[in-house]
Amino acid sequence: MLNLKILLKKFLKWRYKHISNKTFIQLLSILIGFLAGLAAVTLKNLTYFIQSLLEKGIIISENQLYFVLPIVGLTLVYLYVKFVNKHPIAHAVPSILFALSKNKGLLSVKKIYTPLVAAPLTVGFGGSVGLLGPAVKSGAALSSNLSRLLHVDVKTRSLLIACASAGAISSIFQSPIAAIIFAVEVFSLDLTMLSVLPLLLASISGVLTSYFFLGNEVLFNFSISEGFQLKDVPFYILLGVATAFSSIYFTKMYFGIVELFKRFKSPKYKLLFGGLAIGIMLYFIPPLYGEGFGFINNLLDGKHLLALGQTPFDAFLDNIWIVIALLFGITIFKAIAMTTTLAAGGAGGVFIPTMVMGSALGNVVAKVINNLGFGFEVSESNFTLIGMAGLIAGVIHAPLTAIFLIAEITGGYELFVPLMITASISYLITKNILDYTIYTKELAEKDALLTHNKDQAVLTLMRLDDVIETNFKAVQPEMTLGEMLLKSVSKSTRNIYPVLDKENKMVGIVLLDDIREFMFDTTKHYNTFVKDFMHSAPEHIFYNTDSMKQVMQKFQDSGAWNLPVVKNGIYMGFVSKSKLLTAYRRKLINYSR
């Protein structure tokens, strides 16, 4: 261990002498793209291995195993979390965004390998979630710990974490451009050459890693046979509206089910209730099993019966409206199955379930148009693709990612115009109704959400601990003026004195101006007390409650130059406006570089 530390120190010294910071970041981005790609490939292979082991049993049992498998998978995850990880599994992207805004981009080592264990167990045993989130989380944790080991500064660490997400997405979808755009949209990066080049290198590294280990295997083996036609524009607008309201449903259902599961006191009850609920849904709607890429591929190939699988409704599938109803059921229940899996203790992401739901909805809209009897005819495969883009744009508020991802993974650049129409309409409607996404709502409530608004982002990155000053001399209400002058005023360089009771709770303040006219009147020294001069502070800053934005607002509203900080009534120190503005300016300069 000692030899490794010595070698690391020697390497760092050599690096500072021979490699510029810009070049070092670029080299690191390539390495991080490779590691994130490797994590993604590992996740996929482990999950597919588990699914292949269980597949024959599901077929032989005629879907009866669907009642049991989700409970088994969730139980294995629960045991791993309880005895190995010893901390609940946080959702991937929100936990990364929180680390970036409030923890200097530091992620624990456990977050490297925990997704590689928990996610395959969840998805492999039927959990209706995706692998993208865990891959991004594992890659981000690798990036965070590597950058900490190599003494990389906070701003660069944040960039490298975004590079890890680009590498993971590029590896899973083999879509390097969409991976870069996702990192910019979701991680709120400034689009400059300083950030774009490392993202590009990481994305290339991730996709090459995927090609190396998986060959030319693609998620969607589909080529467009029908291009964009002007007469279909009204239907693409209709699809945009449909995906917008489905996105709103998806998001509200997510938070509703999460709140429902919070009522369960024990993780065991969550596991049992969630596992049974998922099992029942899988029995009646088999395509909800796992990620659902097979379902999407079958829809793209026009094989809706194969996509639906063996269900209790097989005898009625010669009726197209029954097929449409079942596909619409997948649209409805995918959101429920996904959220139930996560709320019950499973590990996974929301991105791929969003795609599955969008593909089903797009196919439903196309089938309805084609079977209404009005003589309209649209491409069901194209609508399946564009439905995915609409849901991604609406659920994640990432329209550019949606457009480029669907175009790249399908080679569907001929559909760029309809992709833009549907994605933009879905995003605009959803954004106007829902301010925050599944990724960002809880972060916004904690004031830990980074955005493209620089002023807001800088305030989010600032920490109250960095601006609290404690070199103020406290006084007690019962002190005489003479005692205050002797013990506090004569020994202080400040002009404000917190008044504390015996329990260190703040009861008021005394300003130097309050006692100035009595300081040299010795007759007042022994018969006047601190409580005679003290008064309330113009405002209080509440530790762990007030955000930096609220702190700034309190200074603005009160007009004060110093405000006390209290925690549960206990005095902690003061924040001065001058120090706060200086810290803000420094953070803004560092953030804008």
- pLDDT 10s digit of each residue in the chain, 593 long? 557 788 888 888 888 888 888 899 999 999 999 999 999 999 999 999 998 888 877 766 766 777 888 999 999 999 999 999 888 888 888 888 888 888 888 899 999 999 999 999 999 998 999 999 999 999 999 999 999 999 888 888 989 999 999 999 999 998 899 999 998 888 877 667 677 899 999 999 999 999 888 876 666 666 676 777 888 899 999 999 999 999 999 999 999 999 999 998 888 899 999 999 999 998 888 899 988 888 998 898 888 888 888 877 777 888 899 999 999 999 999 999 999 999 999 999 999 999 999 999 999 999 999 999 888 899 898 999 999 999 999 999 999 999 999 888 876 578 889 999 999 999 999 999 998 888 888 877 777 666 666 667 677 778 888 899 988 999 999 999 899 988 888 888 888 999 999 888 999 999 998 888 888 888 788 888 989 989 999 999 999 888 888 888 899 888 888 999 999 889 999 999 888 888 887 777 666 55
Residue type, 514: D
Domain 230-452 has CATH 1.10.3080.10: yes
- The CATH code belonging to domain 2-214 is 1.10.3080.10
Euclidean distance between CA atoms 360 and 296, whole angstroms: 8
Residues ≥6 apart with Cβ < 8 Å to 158:
100, 105, 187
Euclidean distance between CA atoms 217 and 581, whole angstroms: 54
The three-class DSSP label of residue 7 is: helix
Please say whether the beta carbons of 506 and 498 come within 8 A: yes
The three-class DSSP label of residue 313 is: coil
Q: How far is CA 573 from CA 3, 549, 561, in A?
A: 44, 19, 14
Euclidean distance between CA atoms 581 and 462, whole angstroms: 11
Q: Please tell me the predicted confidence (pLDDT) of residue 341.
A: 95
Please say whether the beta carbons of 578 and 476 come within 8 A: no
Domain 457-592 has CATH 3.30.2270.10: no
Residue (of 393, 442, 454) closest to 420 by Cα position: 393
Euclidean distance between CA atoms 80 and 87, whole angstroms: 10
Euclidean distance between CA atoms 135 and 165, whole angstroms: 8
Q: Taking the CA atoms of the chain, what radius of gyration do you get in angstroms?
A: 29
Length of the chain: 593
Please say whether the beta carbons of 506 and 567 come within 8 A: no
Strands 506-511 and 541-542: unpaired
Euclidean distance between CA atoms 381 and 226, whole angstroms: 9
In the chain, where does the domain assigned CATH 1.10.3080.10 lie?
2-214, 230-452
DSSP string, 261-304: HTT-SSHHHHHHHHHHHHHHHHHH-GGGSSS-HHHHHHHHTT-H
Euclidean distance between CA atoms 197 and 36, whole angstroms: 17
Q: Please tell me the predicted confidence (pLDDT) of residue 219.
A: 66
Residue (of 327, 331, 353, 574) closest to 470 by Cα position: 574
Euclidean distance between CA atoms 485 and 480, whole angstroms: 9
529, β-bridge pairs: 480
